[in-house]
Amino acid sequence: MMKPGQTEREDMDNIKRKYFEIWGDLEAQNNTLKLLVLGCLTLLALAIFCIYLGSLKPPVVIRVSEIGQADAIKDYQVNNAISQPELFFFAKFFVKKFTGYNSYTISSEMADAFSLMSSNYQKIAKKEMIDSNLISKISQASINTNVEIKEIKMEREDEHYAVLSLLGLRTILSYQNRDFKEESLFKGDIILKKVPRSMADPHGLLVEEYREVLVKQIEK
């Protein structure tokens, strides 16, 4: 039966139609929200990408002199280069950590020394330590060792490596016998690998190889 004001064709369409669409506005809103979320995600991805690109740029470094004059570093590569004093300091620091044996701190000192090595040299040094049973022997010896670098010089250097030689005095004292003292001169050769400075490698250097020989046993 037709309603007032309804045509015969409209009445026939209503009879054929099995449902009426009453959620059209809600669906349109959902589609709009989907487009909005997609746009936000695109902007977020773009922002993250820009942040990543920014993190790759060298930091802005401003040096302040003793009189308070600020000077921005313009040539980052040149000013970030490893200087000879840094090479000397790093080599001395490593040798003291690696060969300055102390029965009470041998484990921590070796851990520090290994953190200064390249992965290749870590494998070599670890094998040598295991074969010689070094840590166990030093721990039981009850000794304290002082290493003093008398001379150090640059043998050769290039863009990737630096080779240094050094002469040192090693003094071994005993915790149990105060009269015990053993001194010896040794010569060491160390190869340093230059790496990018980072939080893990702030020096920009890693030990690629270290060897030493006894020069002279000093008599009392």
Strands in the chain per DSSP E: 62-64, 70-72, 143-157, 161-174, 181-194, 205-218
Report how many domains make up the chain. Answer: 1
In a domain, 34, yes or no: no
Segment holding 128, helix H or strand E: helix 119-132
pLDDT top residue among 67 and 52: 52
The mean predicted confidence, pLDDT, of the chain is: 83
In a domain, 137, yes or no: yes
In a domain, 33, yes or no: no
In a domain, 118, yes or no: yes
Q: How confident is the model at residue 186 (pLDDT cuts 50, 70, 90)?
A: very high
pTM of the model: 0.65
In a domain, 185, yes or no: yes
Q: Which amino acid is at 62?
A: I
pLDDT at 75 over 70: no
Q: Are 88 and 152 in contact (CB under 8 A)?
A: yes
Q: Which pLDDT does position 26 carry in this prediction?
A: 74
In a domain, 104, yes or no: yes
The candidate with the shortest Cα–Cα distance to 186, out of 154, 153, 151, 142, is 151
Q: Which pLDDT does position 71 carry in this prediction?
A: 64
pLDDT at 176 over 60: yes
- Comparing 10-14, 35-39, 164-168, the range with the smallest average pLDDT is 10-14
Q: Which pLDDT does position 50 carry in this prediction?
A: 86
pLDDT top residue among 176 and 1: 176
Q: Which pLDDT does position 68 carry in this prediction?
A: 67
pLDDT top residue among 24 and 15: 24
In a domain, 36, yes or no: no
pLDDT at 198 over 90: no
pLDDT top residue among 52 and 58: 52
Mean pLDDT: which of 20-34, 51-65, 139-153 is highest? 139-153
What value, to the nearest 5°, has the Cα angle with vertex 183 and ends 179 and 187? 165
| Boundaries of domain holding 196 | 81-218
In a domain, 69, yes or no: no
The CATH number linked to 150 is 3.10.450.230
